[in-house]
Structure 1
Amino acid sequence: MLSYRHSFHAGNHADVVKHTVQSLIIEALKEKEKPFLYLDTHAGAGRYFLGSEHAEKTGEYLEGIARIWQRDDVPVELEAYMSAVNAYNKGGYLKYYPGSPLIARHLLREQDQLHMTELHPTDYPLLRHEFLKDDRSKVLRADGYQQLKSQLPPQYRRGFILIDPPYELKTDYQAVVQGIQEGYKRFATGVYALWYPVVLRQQIKRMVKELEETGIRRILQIELAVQPDSDRRGMTASGMIVINPPWKLEQQMSTVLPWLHRVLVPEGIGHTKVSWITPE
């Protein structure tokens, strides 16, 4: 369909959780000197102008990154993430929100590699332009799920694969599980992080059950809800499902998620969750 534009949603509560997890995984992988591959299967445009018509129309960033921006009590678990946001917003003014590719670019080292794919005809040229002068990167207009076959295993047998589809089609919930299975067959030691929205809880339950049935071990679920589950239209929660999470990630997110919930949802509704879908 290719109608989804993340520019309407950039910097919202779901992005805050997603990019916190992304940043913590990257920082964990950097603890070893050996290079690694960062593979972003649905990369988007890379940079989002928060004064754009799209961002202003929804104002979702006002209940996301804007609530954390320039606070003086930000937990240590958010330092890497906020350093990336700050890098694209000089002078104390929140003008841009960096998507996952730009957060990765800010945090990765010279020896690491970034491979990104995006199919949208408007977003792909924007993404390509962002990385024209970055020798570490490769930007393709290609199907993200296919990259889980063609790009894995990486050269150095270390990698972080971020899977963040738009979920325009109901079949995306099954496609992500199939994609992870394909990638895992080729690269069982990689870190896989799958973002998901909660629109209908039953869809997520079904997806989690299908992940359990793959037989893959060490699957961690992280979730932040800003509303109770509902059968009405709209996202009430979002989360990250991480396969082979770094050993500190469970504790880090158990510590920082309640803080994020208090700041992003001052009304106190919704919930947080950090639990294993399948342990060791």
Structure 2
Amino acid sequence: MNYRHAFHAGNFADVLKHAVLARVLMHLAEKPAAFRVLDTHAGAGLYDLAGPEASRTGEWRDGIGRVLAVKDMPQTIAALLAPYLDALAACGGGGSQNGIPSRYPGSPLIAARLMRPQDRLVACELEPGAAGALARALGRDARAKRIAIDGWLALKAYLPPKERRGLVLIDPPFEKPDEFARLSKAVAGAVRKWPSGVYMIWHPVKNRRESEAFLQTLADACIPKVMRLEISVGGEADGLTTSGLVLINPPWRLADELTPLLDWLVPLLARGPGAAARLDWIAKD
């Protein structure tokens, strides 16, 4: 699977991933001690929704476009989405189209927007074009460090963080056939180095057997507190229709927050029959 993100920015998978990211960061910020965010595959940081890539697919229209078009959002959902949508509005800039910001932030910019002065971000991106764009997007934010390093190596080099609290976001491009095997090995190794960290792992669900095998490797590694999230928009369209997240050591109230959020997102983002969501535990001590 080739997942060059400029084509997919703001799609249904981004909506789930970034809404959950924002919730995790809000929970981390409840304690005064500093935390660290390690984003292993950070990408370009900011994406032009009117640019040639996003315009070619138009995926954002069935993702963040639908969310922002809602006129009367339930108060509970509005409260859950507020950090994500506030970060989006702050990074959007450059005008809007029917209320949709012209630019969509990736995970490093959302993290930077929601961090406090004492928190830190390490954003890793090796591809030269994306790395340059990421440096420009982060600007002179002293809390954020952009490093041109392979994300898999970053898991070995930057864990555990000196803050001893924080989040590791792993969002690889899934361009190689052995990506799930590499992901399994990398996650198991990272958790051994830093067992108390919060880990958030994005993956496409294109092949159910492959996805289940990945989850089984986490169970076999005896990693406690592994939560699975999935959202499917249904239909028979080409491309990605089901997106998955795995959370290791999620904040203890997160599952209670995400259940109503998923229930609300499924009919909003549905593209046809079979739209559904899933939240369960692969391991829970």
Q: TM-score, normalised by structure 1?
A: 0.94
Q: Which residue, 262, 267, 278 being the options, matches 1:262?
A: 267
Whether the aligned pair in 1 keeps the contact of 2:92 and 2:105 (CA below 8 Å) is no
3-state SS of 1:238 partner: strand
Structure 2 counterparts to residues 174-253 of structure 1, below 5 A: 174-227=181-234, 234-253=239-258
Structure 2 counterparts to residues 98-109 of structure 1, below 5 A: 98-109=105-116
Aligned-residue RMSD, C-alpha:
1.8
Q: Which residue of 2 aligns with 1:271?
A: 276
Structure-2 change in CA distance of 1:268 and 1:86 (3 Å): farther
Deviation for aligned residue 1:179: 1.1
Q: What CA distance in whole angstroms lies between the structure 2 residues aligned with 1:175 and 1:97? A: 29
Q: What CA distance in whole angstroms lies between the structure 2 residues aligned with 1:210 and 1:220? A: 14
Q: What CA distance in whole angstroms lies between the structure 1 residues aligned with 2:42 and 2:259? A: 27
Q: Which residue of 2 aligns with 1:128?
A: 135
AA at the equivalent of 1:97: Y
Whether the aligned pair in 2 keeps the contact of 1:25 and 1:249 (CA below 8 Å) is yes
Q: What CA distance in whole angstroms lies between the structure 1 residues aligned with 2:182 and 2:35? A: 25
Q: Which residue of 2 aligns with 1:96?
A: 103
Number of matched pairs:
277
Whether the aligned pair in 1 keeps the contact of 2:109 and 2:138 (CA below 8 Å) is no
Does residue 157 (structure 1) correspond to residue 164 (structure 2)? The answer is yes
Whether the aligned pair in 1 keeps the contact of 2:44 and 2:130 (CA below 8 Å) is yes
Q: Which residue of 1 aligns with 2:13?
A: 14
Whether the aligned pair in 2 keeps the contact of 1:41 and 1:144 (CA below 8 Å) is yes
AA at the equivalent of 2:73: D
Moved more, 21-30 or 121-130: 121-130
AA at the equivalent of 1:54: E
Percent identity among equivalent residues? 38
Q: What CA distance in whole angstroms lies between the structure 2 residues aligned with 1:218 and 1:35? A: 23
AA at the equivalent of 2:243: S
AA at the equivalent of 1:10: A
Q: What CA distance in whole angstroms lies between the structure 2 residues aligned with 1:147 and 1:255? A: 34
Q: Deviations over 1:156-204 (max 9, x none)?
A: 2101000000111121111111111121111100000000111111110
Whether the aligned pair in 1 keeps the contact of 2:233 and 2:272 (CA below 8 Å) is no
Q: Deviations over 1:85-127 (max 9, x none)?
A: 1112356442011100110011000100000111222111000
Deviation for aligned residue 1:221: 0.3
Structure 2 counterparts to residues 36-185 of structure 1, below 5 A: 36-71=35-70, 72-73=72-73, 75=77, 76-90=79-93, 92-185=99-192
Q: What CA distance in whole angstroms lies between the structure 2 residues aligned with 1:267 and 1:168? A: 27
Deviation for aligned residue 1:132: 3.1
Q: What CA distance in whole angstroms lies between the structure 2 residues aligned with 1:268 and 1:262? A: 10
AA at the equivalent of 1:37: R
Structure 1 residues without counterparts, runs of 5 or longer: none
Moved more, 264-273 or 210-219: 264-273
Whether the aligned pair in 1 keeps the contact of 2:37 and 2:166 (CA below 8 Å) is yes
3-state SS of 1:204 partner: helix
Deviation for aligned residue 1:234: 2.7
Deviation for aligned residue 1:267: 4.1
Whether the aligned pair in 2 keeps the contact of 1:46 and 1:98 (CA below 8 Å) is yes
Deviation for aligned residue 1:46: 0.3
Deviation for aligned residue 1:226: 1.1
Q: What CA distance in whole angstroms lies between the structure 2 residues aligned with 1:118 and 1:65? A: 24
Q: What CA distance in whole angstroms lies between the structure 2 residues aligned with 1:265 and 1:134? A: 38
3-state SS of 1:73 partner: coil
Structure 2 residues without counterparts, runs of 5 or longer: none
Q: What CA distance in whole angstroms lies between the structure 2 residues aligned with 1:214 and 1:168? A: 25
